[in-house]
Structure 1
Amino acid sequence: MNQKLFFSGLIVMFALSAAGHYFHFGNTLQFIISAIAIIFVAGFLGKATESVAHYAGQRLGGFLNATFGNAAELIIAIFLIRARQFEMVKASLTGAIIGNLLLVLGLSVLLGGLKYKEQRFNNRLAEHNATLMIMAVIGLFVPAVFVVSERFTFDQDQFLSLAVAGILIVSYILWLVFSMITHKDMLADEVMTADHGEAPAWSKGKSIIYLVVATVMVAFVSEWLVHTLDAFSEQFGLSELFIGAFVIAIVGNAAEHSAAVLLAMKNKIGAAVEIAIGSSLQIALFVAPVLILVSAMFGNTMDIVFTPIELTAIGVSVFIAKSVSRDGQTNWYEGVLLLMVYVILGIAFYLV
């Protein structure tokens, strides 16, 4: 999309979303406008992080893209927590994890594979990512099994949730130290790809400013979107699980979608994998635990107990993503497989 046209659309949709919220358009219309607006602002966020990534390198750039791309999910979830919609928060976290592992990674591998017969990235990084994905499943699976089967009291449930949240956050921070500092060279991209003379969209200073501006815009539009969810789901008979796991997740993942796919089509599959898998790991090991702590600060702690449906969706997503990425090379058919699993889960969630 032409940059001037994109910014015109961004300003128009942001203004319309604000008008819909403050002048009380119909709930369905407000939802549609806010959803389109958040796609635009998430795209703006993606462009800013991609520009910053040009100066920071593929791995750090991918990490920054995943981090700021997750800003939408995090901010939406905080507003949902304030409204005490804990089940929708968990559903949106589930959707963010499976959306990144299946939809974002699947589209990146498929479209990159159609252009390049085979794409490679650091297989050591792939092995570590696989182990971390299993760690994430353990962190979400164990509390659910013990709380339900042992019939923990409310206080035991809260204590276990806070303890697991703290452990997962420490694990993620230590992973950043390991991957970005102590073993940075070992996990660097082995496959060097040319930039084909590409220049970043903006200067370093302007990219950072736009990154901050985009994050603030995401915060506003996220709040406006959250206010429409109850009425929208009731009007169309959609479950909180489907709204959280697919609608919010797809809208909130717009930044990762665009950036990861574009990087894969430039044969920078390492950065695309870092965005898709790295973003899922960040959601499971950092964002979800942080939300547990944030809810405690609001005076009503959300537990870390996910439903069997959510755990099943996360488990199968991790299994297929691990199988596809473990050897450090991808092709278009593996992208198709990831997308097919996403469609299966989407149909199942819709029918709940």
Structure 2
Amino acid sequence: MLNWLLIFLPIAVYLEFSHGNPTWIFIASMIAILPLAGIMGRATEELAIRAGSTVGGLLNATFGNATELIIAFFALKAGKLEVVKASITGSILGNILLVLGLAVFLGGLKHKTQVFSQKNAGILTSLLTLSVLGLLIPAVFDLASVNFANFAQPADLDFRLSVAVAVVLILIYLGNVYFSLVTHKDLLSGHEEEGHEVAKWSVPKALGILLASTVAVGFMSEFLVGSLEEASQSLGLSEFFVGIILIPIIGNAAEHASAVVFAMKNKMDLAVTIAIGSTIQVALLVAPLLVLLGLAVGQKMDLVLHNPLELVAVVAGIVIANSIAKDGESNWLEGLMLLGVYVLLAFAFFYFPTVSAAAH
């Protein structure tokens, strides 16, 4: 559906290598990532259908947030650590409030009241709560070390703690994969049997397209990050706003569409699983991987969120996700409220004054 936007791929390449206006490079590369993310999602789905439910589920989990991980990696490599951390927070909020909100709202307009498995949603929200709280521990540690222990320079300790937290979260993620695909795969068997899909692409074709689109996303991400500073100034946007709102929306475009489509088909179990499951992937896999990848590229990235607005927003997101999932039912008004909260936060992040990390 968005494949016509691929025209922006050669446009971005031309602008980059002809040293064009950074703002146009930023816009062109950002738009080009949208269809590329969709193509990566389609190729992964084709491989998943052929590989069977167990390996397929692992593939979907692994590549679910690949686009955003690639964008964040190039930002990390460029030393834009606050942008990377903002994109992690933005992805968590975007999945819980925007993706789930759109799915519940549009699905509710069509089907009035929709139901989903309380048991499955309960497992997901419990894991979500634990994983996101794990991400918040470094921020609480930083706050306590400065205000209660009177330790003036906690940066090195913040980093060491973040590395330890990253390792633990990845281990929990691996445990979650084993739980979902081996010991308790019957919990998801109902979802897997709903489609009876037939693969339309051969394995070599799917692998080739997945590889090509991943490489293309890598180039577009490098262009995007390289032009970020000048473009954000030209557009009147802070890098923080770009990281917390724009990058997550672009990076997760394919998942956004999938959740909404399933909700409108009255398959709310799948929509909820996509929205909350993707958030869990960000907290347990993407964020920890970025900390460890930072070691490889010489960037000491910690998981400390210095902005109190981010902390409040993430905690609010957890509370909202649990309240939506607890009764196993949803309607369009709940979706509208989720979207309303997201828009309010977007305005707050837009107007939030830019504070350099050095000021901390």
1:320 maps to: 320
> Which residue identity does 1:144 align to in structure 2?
A
Higher deviation after alignment, 118-127 or 96-105: 118-127
Following TM superposition, by how much is the alpha carbon of 1:193 offset from its aligned partner in structure 2, in angstroms? Answer: 4.4
Structure 2 length normalisation: TM-score? Answer: 0.87
Alignment of 1:4-83 (within 5 A): 6-10=2-6, 12-55=7-50, 64-65=59-60, 67-83=62-78
C-alpha deviations, 1:271-326, integer Å up to 9, x for none?
A: 22222111111111111111111112223311111122211111111211221123
Q: 1:194 to 1:129 in 2, by over 3 A?
A: closer
Could you tell me whether the CA contact under 8 Å between 2:26 and 2:227 is conserved in 1? yes
Where 2:186 maps in the other structure, the secondary structure is coil
Q: Distance in 2 between matches of 1:270 and 1:206?
A: 30
Q: Distance in 2 between matches of 1:259 and 1:30?
A: 28
Q: Distance in 2 between matches of 1:63 and 1:271?
A: 16
1:150 maps to: 145
> Which residue identity does 2:296 align to in structure 1?
M
C-alpha deviations, 1:302-351, integer Å up to 9, x for none?
A: 11111222111111112112211233333222221211111111111111
Where 1:330 maps in the other structure, the secondary structure is strand
> Which residue identity does 1:122 align to in structure 2?
S
Q: Distance in 2 between matches of 1:100 and 1:62?
A: 19
Q: Distance in 2 between matches of 1:318 and 1:61?
A: 28
Q: 1:32 to 1:218 in 2, by over 3 A?
A: same
Q: Distance in 2 between matches of 1:32 and 1:350?
A: 18
Q: Distance in 2 between matches of 1:288 and 1:165?
A: 7
Correspondent of 1:129 among 113, 118, 124: 124
Where 1:295 maps in the other structure, the secondary structure is helix
2:291 maps to: 292
Q: Distance in 2 between matches of 1:350 and 1:71?
A: 26
Q: Distance in 2 between matches of 1:244 and 1:116?
A: 35
C-alpha deviations, 1:140-168, integer Å up to 9, x for none?
A: 22211122222353332222111111111
Q: Distance in 2 between matches of 1:30 and 1:37?
A: 10
> Which residue identity does 1:281 align to in structure 2?
I
Gaps of 5+ in 1: none
Q: Distance in 2 between matches of 1:54 and 1:112?
A: 26
How many corresponding residue pairs?
A: 345
Higher deviation after alignment, 161-170 or 305-314: 305-314
Structure 1 length normalisation: TM-score? Answer: 0.89
Q: Distance in 2 between matches of 1:17 and 1:117?
A: 43
Q: Distance in 1 between matches of 2:331 and 2:257?
A: 19
Q: Distance in 1 between matches of 2:51 and 2:266?
A: 18
1:216 maps to: 215
Q: Distance in 2 between matches of 1:160 and 1:245?
A: 23
C-alpha deviations, 1:115-163, integer Å up to 9, x for none?
A: 3233333322211111112112321222111222223533322221111
> Which residue identity does 2:341 align to in structure 1?
V
> Which residue identity does 1:329 align to in structure 2?
E
Alignment of 1:1-352 (within 5 A): 1=1, 6-10=2-6, 12-55=7-50, 64-65=59-60, 67-151=62-146, 153-189=154-190, 193=194, 200-307=199-306, 308-352=308-352
Q: Distance in 1 between matches of 2:209 and 2:330?
A: 33
Q: Distance in 1 between matches of 2:133 and 2:317?
A: 14
C-alpha deviations, 1:198-255, integer Å up to 9, x for none?
A: 7555345533432332222211111111111100112233222211001111111111
Following TM superposition, by how much is the alpha carbon of 1:58 offset from its aligned partner in structure 2, in angstroms? Answer: 8.1
- Over the residues paired in the alignment, what is the CA RMSD in angstroms? 2.4
Could you tell me whether the CA contact under 8 Å between 1:46 and 1:258 is conserved in 2? no
> Which residue identity does 2:339 align to in structure 1?
L
> Which residue identity does 2:34 align to in structure 1?
I
> Which residue identity does 2:115 align to in structure 1?
R
Give the fraction of aligned pairs with identical amino acids, expressed as a percent.
Answer: 48
Where 1:202 maps in the other structure, the secondary structure is coil
Q: 1:140 to 1:328 in 2, by over 3 A?
A: same
Following TM superposition, by how much is the alpha carbon of 1:62 offset from its aligned partner in structure 2, in angstroms? Answer: 6.8
Gaps of 5+ in 2: 353-360
Q: Distance in 2 between matches of 1:160 and 1:191?
A: 38
